[in-house]
Amino acid sequence: MMTSQLYAPSFSLLPKSSINPNHLIKDGSPSLISIVPRYHVRQNRTKKKSSSLVIHATSGELKSSPASVSTVTSTENQAFTVKALVTVTVTAGGSSKRLNRPPDDNIDLLRKTLLLELVGAELDPKTGLEKETEGYAYNVSHNDDEVVYEATVTIPAGFGDIGAVQIENEHHEEIFIKSIDLDGFPNGTVNIPCNSWVHSKSDNPQKRIFFTNKSYIPSETPSGLKKLRESELQTLRGDGGGQRKTSDRIYDYDTYNDLGDPDHDDELVRPVLGGKDHPYPRRCRTGRPCTEKDHLSEQRSNSVYVPRDEAFSEVKQKTFSQKAVKSVLHAVFPSIEQAVLYRDLGYSLLDPNLSFSYFTDIDSLFNEGVTLAKPKTGRFFQTIMQWLVKTITGGKDDLLLFETPEIYKRDKFAWFRDDEFSRQTLAGLNPYSIELVKELPLKSKLDPEIYGPPESWITTEVVEKEIKGYMTVNEALERKKMFILDYHDLLMPYVNKVREIEGTTLYGSRTLFFLTEDGTLRPIAIELTRPPVGDKPQWKQVFTPTWDATGRWLWILAKAHVLAHDSAYHQLVVHWLRTHCSTEPYIIAANRQLSAMHPIYRLLHPHFRYTMKINALARESLINAGGVIESNFSPGKYSTEISSVAYDQLWRFDMEALPADLIRRGMAVEDPTAEHGLKLTIEDYPFANDGLILWDAIKEWVSDYVNHYYPDPNLIESDTELQGWWTEVRTKGHADKKDELWWPVLETPEKLIHTLTTIIWVTAGHHAAVNFGQYMYGGYFPNRPTIARTNMPTEDSSEEEFLQNFGKNPEMALLMCFPSQIQATKVMAVLDVLSNHSPDEEYIGSLKSAWAENPDIKNAYDRFSVNLKRLEGIIDERNTNMKLKNRVGAGVVPYELLKPFSTTGVTGMGVPNSISI
Ligand SMILES: [Fe+2]
């Protein structure tokens, strides 16, 4: 487990009552130091004078930090010395580029490597100025992982509490500071976790500030820190201009105008997402120049800026996520293309749209593999992709051998069956689309002039034929027995556009389900619709699970289309838009408006870890023009545009809360007598049942936290930073929705708690539920094809053609509809990476040490952890209950996606704190 980055939450939160500003301080280690008082002039801020002392230390030893304590007091009458130990992490790359030895040895010979300036929490009562005392730290010890620098600093008489440490890095390179420990105070060591990159003085003369581990809402900021608090936020906000460089820490907003590449190819022109025409959340501004052909679009980059501390950790052995994603895209993908295109034909080129010829060819990916030419980067595959690629002993090439996905391992025919098709709407990778049908017949809201007759052909007669013997349609509606996957109105406007792209097709689709007596869903009808095109009228057909061979194969093909729609919707809307993309504005606003010492910043910070970086990678290679999504999913180049339509029509912050989402879809109703205050429409709805326990656990933890820091509810409305943060989330980060009336107003503890719980749920529970099962369910693509490439054989084909092609070989028709060999293999590799838990994963409820210093908060967090442990037990128990047929059964993959903890790798369980992959 690694430490997190900037302002990691491993700070103490002592209750205010435990701070005694008049506590007597004993002397430090005077035998090792000489003290040279001098008059100090502050740099980089308003030039004021204050008394300080410079300490020249001689030597010291690396030692482990004692248990940290919160802020510290000094005597009113006597100066004393403290030893400052700065722990710098040796990094595996990035700008420091130095392994196993401290940076800039020559500088260190001068013993002036890091200038530490300790800042008093309170202003000097006599002068009204900030109090500071400083000293130089230099390297005293290092090992493979860490370098320790030491200084001895005099704390003048009457200095009072330490409020912050400012650092000037004399190295010529940035360094990653893990922590600063101030040893010698009578209460013990003051520990300041930093986990942050500190720039070189030569790059930027501005000192870097780290506040101590005590949280303050703005009105309670100690007098000596007020200016620093504000100036640090100004630094992080920037001035709205300039092109960002790697070492910057500036958080600002921009539209998604960097997905297209118009200068490279006209085919790669994409609309700007964000704004009136295509509403969208905002992303982090990079300030790159605009393209030559389109002044509204930003130039592409192979290395997209994120604020320095948002990057994946460069700590040794912990570079998993970035390397894994990049290696798949930049090394495995080309190798796959080469391997598939040239396979078996003596290196003559094959059609890139080639389908699998037999189902056994798909099986061979798990047992025979694909032979890849060894990349020029030596043992690249073996070291980085070892979970994916197994080396042939003695061979000259690498073998890409996929792990057998769980769905296939347990039951290789599960994908084929209707019960599994339905079950996965409640317990699969996308449990967010199924909704209650409130009335029949179904009717489109689209313009019939453009899209044809709006009435569905899934008529009462069609439904009644399928549920005959159980109940009438009216009874089914009344008793809440009808459910739907509705991808009609969202996709119809794109059907004709998508059909102009080679190698893909699209329909509007509606899939109707009936809730059986044993609590499982049974699919009863699929309707596929194509709007009028040219002189052809609207085409639509209803497919049902019939008992004749032709009808049965058509049903299977129709399911493949629906699954492709569901895969695209899941990836673009449920996963990307609603978790990754919508969260970025919360992060940008938090860093611009909430000080690192703000308790709400510290509460949220673990839930924002690595999100901006993975989102930048997504813009770079996944959702960009011609990227992984466009090349392998049905909507092709309209993929992200469709997510913008979904944002416009569907996304509401207040509906992102799990209970509200369930109620909105008719999957639950409020019931004060029921557990969690909700009665589920489908009792055995694994995602909802497990999710609501997690939701309640998060809410209880957030309630305890908020009530601790806001004992007076009025403090919430008067908290300028908190209000500034939330205003900016609404007006800048989600600017296209800024005037919506559903935004919560942070005026009571209840609203603040609900808002924070929603954000944490989205980053933890929602994301885990839709992310970590990607390989388990999508790794065997017949279970979840990402694309359906051919039209239904009943659309626009003569009887003769129908019999010749589909009639003679329906299996081949299905394989041709499924993703091509290249598409399927690439998607499998990506899904494998995206389903992986990194070795440095931080799971929800596991940051116990972060809150160790405040008994109230620690107890609350302990309760949270116990609740999560309990959830783990409940899920295990539920997965052995044979009555719960949507999660238990012969060959059924148990529902574990919301089990809080996991080991490394593809496990199909584990809820990390944040969206980090
Ligand atoms: Fe994700």
Query: What's the 637 CA to ligand 1 centre distance in angstroms?
Result: 21
Pairing state between β 49-57 and 132-142? parallel
Query: What's the 581 CA to ligand 1 centre distance in angstroms?
Result: 10
Tokens 């073996």: give the residue.
382
Enter the pTM of the model: 0.89
Query: What's the 772 CA to ligand 1 centre distance in angstroms?
Result: 8
Q: Is residue 270 part of a domain?
A: no
Active-site positions read: 575, 580, 767, 771, 917
Let me know the angle formed at the C-alpha of 421 by 419 and 424, rounded to the nearest 5 degrees. Answer: 100
State whether residue 450 is helix, strand or coil.
helix
Residue 168 sits in the same domain as residue 62: yes
**Which residues in the chain come in under a pLDDT of 70?**
1-76, 92-112, 313-327, 330-331, 338-350, 372-398
Q: What is the CATH number of the domain that holds 760?
A: 1.20.245.10
Residue 125 sits in the same domain as residue 226: yes
Query: What's the 916 CA to ligand 1 centre distance in angstroms?
Result: 7
Q: Is residue 275 part of a domain?
A: no
Q: How many domains does the chain have?
A: 5
CA distance 845 to 913: 8
Give the pLDDT confidence score for residue 382 in this predicted structure: 45
Mark which of 237, 271, 289 sits at the end of a domain. 237
Give the pLDDT confidence score for residue 22 in this predicted structure: 29
Give the pLDDT confidence score for residue 386 in this predicted structure: 46
CA distance 197 to 271: 35
Residue 855 sits in the same domain as residue 754: yes
Give the pLDDT confidence score for residue 803 in this predicted structure: 80
Q: What is the CATH number of the domain that holds 215?
A: 2.60.60.20
Write down the mean pLDDT value for the chain: 86
Mark which of 373, 407, 441 sits at the end of a domain. 407
Tokens 């992080």: give the residue.
236
* DSSP 8-state class, residue 329: I
What is the span of the domain harbouring residue 812? 789-819
Q: Is residue 277 part of a domain?
A: no
Asked whether the beta carbons of 843 and 902 are under 8 A apart, the reply is: yes
State whether residue 453 is helix, strand or coil.
coil
CA distance 528 to 513: 15
| CA atoms within a 13 Å half-sphere pointing along the CA-CB vector of 635 | 28
Tokens 């979840």: give the residue.
784
Query: What's the 620 CA to ligand 1 centre distance in angstroms?
Result: 15
What is the b/e burial string over 385-416, where b = at least 16 CB atoms within 10 angstroms of the residue's CB?
beebbbeeeeeeebbbbbbbbbbbeebeebbe
Asked whether the beta carbons of 766 and 711 are under 8 A apart, the reply is: no
Residue 56 sits in the same domain as residue 157: yes
Mark which of 237, 269, 295 sits at the end of a domain. 237
Residue 334 sits in the same domain as residue 368: yes
Residue 813 sits in the same domain as residue 890: no
Q: Is residue 598 part of a domain?
A: no
Q: Is residue 133 part of a domain?
A: yes
Query: What's the 575 CA to ligand 1 centre distance in angstroms?
Result: 6
What is the b/e burial string over 855-871, where b = at least 16 CB atoms within 10 angstroms of the residue's CB?
ebbbebbeebbebbeeb
Query: What's the 307 CA to ligand 1 centre distance in angstroms?
Result: 20
Sign of CA dihedral 394, 399, 402, 408: negative
Residue 532 sits in the same domain as residue 669: no
Q: Is residue 677 part of a domain?
A: yes
Residue 172 sits in the same domain as residue 74: yes
Residue 806 sits in the same domain as residue 884: no
**Two tokens at 345?**
């034909």
Q: Is residue 672 part of a domain?
A: yes
CA distance 185 to 607: 33
Q: Is residue 249 part of a domain?
A: no
Query: What's the 321 CA to ligand 1 centre distance in angstroms?
Result: 11
Residue 73 sits in the same domain as residue 147: yes
Query: What's the 322 CA to ligand 1 centre distance in angstroms?
Result: 13
Residue 358 sits in the same domain as residue 475: no
Residue 91 sits in the same domain as residue 193: yes
Give the pLDDT confidence score for residue 793 in this predicted structure: 94
Query: What's the 618 CA to ligand 1 centre distance in angstroms?
Result: 10
